[in-house]
């Protein structure tokens, strides 16, 4: 875990422990330089925005980018993959594994929309807790 990589949005005062579990797990991935906790979501990336807000960039299809955006529903105990991108082979699976391993068993880990052309199918075979709708 590298706590130097973990940032919090200014409006986040006291987050649910799930946020730190996931953020710490993501911070252990060498390629992810920045992990930021927001209210209701987490972003992690190898690049930050240049707009002064220090936001990890998670735009699909940008060359050289590795990143993930997660939506966190504490009330329903659901972690949802909203976006994931990786130019580096194998890094997408490292991100999925880090999240699945960090999330407590009583929580669900889901993908609501699959636009991956096979990535999520492979991930559900390797990580049965992951549910794709």
* Reported confidence tier of residue 1, pLDDT bands at 50, 70, 90: low
Read off the pTM. Answer: 0.94
For residue 56, give the DSSP letter.
B
- For residues 72 and 24, what is the distance between their CA atoms, to the nearest angstrom? 15
- Strands, E assignment, 1-133: 6-8, 34-38, 41-45, 66-73, 78-86, 108-111, 130-132
DSSP 87-100: SSTTHHHHHHHHHH
| pLDDT for 52 | 86
Taking only the tens place, the pLDDT of each residue in 34-67 is 999 999 999 999 999 999 889 999 998 899 999 9
| Structural domains present in the chain | 3-132 (3.40.630)
């Amino acid at each position: 875990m590298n706590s130097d990589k973990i940032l919090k949005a200014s409006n986040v005062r006291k987050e649910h422990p799930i946020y730190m579990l996931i953020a710490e797990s993501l911070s252990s991935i060498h390629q992810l330089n920045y992990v930021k906790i927001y209210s209701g979501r987490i972003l992690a990336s190898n690049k930050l925005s240049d707009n002064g807000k220090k936001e990890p960039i998670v735009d699909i299809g940008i060359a050289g980018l590795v990143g993930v955006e997660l939506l966190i529903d504490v009330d329903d105990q659901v972690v949802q993959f909203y976006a994931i991108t990786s130019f580096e082979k194998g890094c997408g699976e490292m991100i999925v594994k880090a999240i699945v391993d960090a999330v407590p068993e009583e929580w669900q880990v889901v993908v609501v929309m699959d636009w991956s052309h096979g990535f999520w199918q492979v991930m559900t075979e390797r990580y049965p807790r992951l549910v794709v709708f």
